[in-house]
Amino acid sequence: MPTRLSLTSLSCAVLLAVAVPSPRAFAQSFFMTPIPNAPFSGVVNVERTIVQKDGSVMQFKSTREVARDTRGRIHNELRALIPVSSTDTPEPLHIHLYDPQTRVSTEIDVRRRNFWTRTMNHPPSTEPPSIRFAAPDGNAPPNEFTKQEDLGIREIEGVPAHGIRETQTVADENDGKEVVITDEYWYSQELRINVMIKHSDPRKGTTTITVAQVTRTEPDPALFEVPEGYTRRGAQAGTEKAN
């Protein structure tokens, strides 16, 4: 089965898009499939290196919680990237909740302590989307120069995963020299997610995203609710709040 990566929001997934590196650089979110009867929780670890114009390399990291309950509801966090040397906990920025039974998607702005909802007009994919956005800027579609290698099966955090490596040769926009971009996708059929994703572009840097501390039990139901005290966006303060 091919393993794929896509962008954020309900129908999209993970790649780190950092236009201007900084100690509080943002990271995109991790794709979660809202399938029933496969509850789990885990921690998504992100490692990112960014190549600067002068050739120096900046290193960042992030971590966030993800969870899915028996009903297929998902909890998907977005946290800031911080320097790899930092001992701080990455700042929470955003939480995405989704209930596949009602098709209600809830976006929570942690900094502003508000939220908004919308009802999706069709069910999302039950597997990582087939659209491939391999590079952080999302503009490296497969072509005739893309090669694919089957990496077989291995365990990642106790979960069997099937690996695929894709390599693509492109011309550098500055000097025209060939550049080899490499992507690995490790897909868990049991969890229906990519439990590891690796991206390497020598012009821009590397990204490694790994699902760790996987627990195959029912998560805390509170993870799938809007936190108390958060105000619905657009409502007057104090008049419409989460239960």
The DSSP line for the chain is -------SSTT-------SS--TT-B---------SS--EEEEEEEEEEEE-TTS-EEEEEEEEEEEE-TT--EEEEEEB-EETT--SPPPEEEEEEEETTTTEEEEEETTTTEEEEEE-SSPPPSSS-S----STTS-----TTEEEEEEEEEEETTEEEEEEEEEEEEE-TTT--EEEEEEEEEEETTTTEEEEEEEEETTTEEEEEEEEEEE-SPPPGGGGSPPTTPEETTSPTTTSB--
pTM comes to: 0.76
Report the alpha-carbon distance of residue 224 to residue 100 in Å, rounded: 12
Give tens-digit pLDDT for 203-216.
Answer: 999 999 999 999 99
* CATH number assigned to the domain covering 40-232: 2.50.20
pLDDT, one tens digit per residue, over 124-177 is: 777 664 333 333 344 445 556 678 899 999 999 889 999 999 999 888 777 778
CA distances to 43, 107, 130, 167 from 146, rounded to whole Å, are 31, 36, 16, 6
Of 112 and 175, more confident: 112
Domain boundaries, the chain: 40-232
Asked whether the beta carbons of 166 and 134 are under 8 A apart, the reply is yes
Comparison of pLDDT for 28 and 83, the residue scoring more: 83
For residues 78 and 24, the model is more confident at 78
Q: What pLDDT was estimated at residue 235?
A: 52
Residue 27: the pLDDT is 37
What is the tens place of the pLDDT at every residue in 186-201?
Answer: 999 999 999 999 999 9
Residue 173 or 17, more confident: 173
104 touches 118 (CB < 8 A): yes
Judged by average pLDDT, the poorest of 30-34, 72-76, 127-131, 233-237 is 127-131
| C-alpha to C-alpha distances, 186 to 24, 87, 149, 165, 201, nearest whole angstrom | 28, 28, 12, 9, 18
User: What pLDDT does 144 receive?
Assistant: 62
Q: Could you give the CA distance from residue 243 to residue 173 in angstroms, rounded to a whole number? A: 52
